[in-house]
Amino acid sequence: MNYRHHFHAGNHADVLKHVALLDLLARLTAKDKPLAYLETHAGAGVYDLDGDAERTGEWREGVGRLLASATTPPPAVRRYLDAVLEWNVGSGGLCRYPGSPVLAAGVLRAQDRLLLCEMQPRVAAELRQGLAARDPRVKVFVADGYHQALCALLPPPQRRALVLVDPPYEAQAAEFDRILAALREGLRRLATGTYAIWYPIKRAATNTPFLRALADLPVKSALTLELWVRAPDSPLRLNGSGVAVLNPPWQFDQAAATSWLPWLAAALAAGRGAGWRCHWLRHEDAAQSPAHAPPKRDRTR
């Protein structure tokens, strides 16, 4: 595996993924019962924006653009930005970006647990040193996240879990197959868990078979949120991304569709055809609960 997220930290895909993640965690921790948080591809934890990320500058068109926005962000986006800024107190600017394990650790409670999988030993060592060494709630596994997080570690003792599936997609079609196989096993072990799957959008039609397959999984409900910063019609660059959520918590879709997702689409638009979508792939009461936002584009001038 050659992928290093250090080059892409804080870009528009991270923004969508992390706003969604923090909103999911806020809703799932509203109950007193403990929660297990699992990741299949956890990464390094914290990324230096003055290092590899500066070579691409992608964060400037992602989190950097949000921080420079003149409009007031919705509460879910404000929560995310506050979490990012907390890692930059006293730095005089934005120089570090917290990844999903660190963001999750910042909002999870004493009774919750974080089980983080990372296949690259060097990256796992960064995560262990930066997070697990000072947080007894955290355990890092140098392992295949599909097998470990969606098989060996399910069901957790807490009997409640949010699993983030966030692979590098070096071979996209093959990755989709692996995700679906792992999710089937995970759902067999913990049918009531919440599973969030991040996926890239280059040419939107390419993802249709994968989304249809997600809808066919044995779950009560499946929702997808998508954000594209330019028209999703080129296979040569990352035009947007999506987060599919199996068994989403109550009203997660409403908050996204009526508040933070359209705001992000407007704030991050980088070209013709930028827009967003909040769409039910499967709903336990589809007749009474249609998608809150049909496919929609917010075109830039």
Active site residues: 166
CA distances from 39 to 100, 108, 145, 227, 301 (A): 9, 14, 7, 22, 39
What DSSP line would sit under 37-80, residue for residue?
EEESS---SEEETTTHHHHH-GGGGTHHHHHT-SSPPPHHHHHH
Distance, CA of 116 to CA of 140 (rounded, Å)? 5
Q: Locate 218 and state its tokens.
A: 């044995």
User: Which of 238, 230, 234 has the alpha carbon at shortest distance from 276?
Assistant: 230
Query: What sign results for the dihedral spanned by CA atoms 162, 168, 172, 175?
Result: negative
CB atoms near residue 241 (< 10 Å): 23
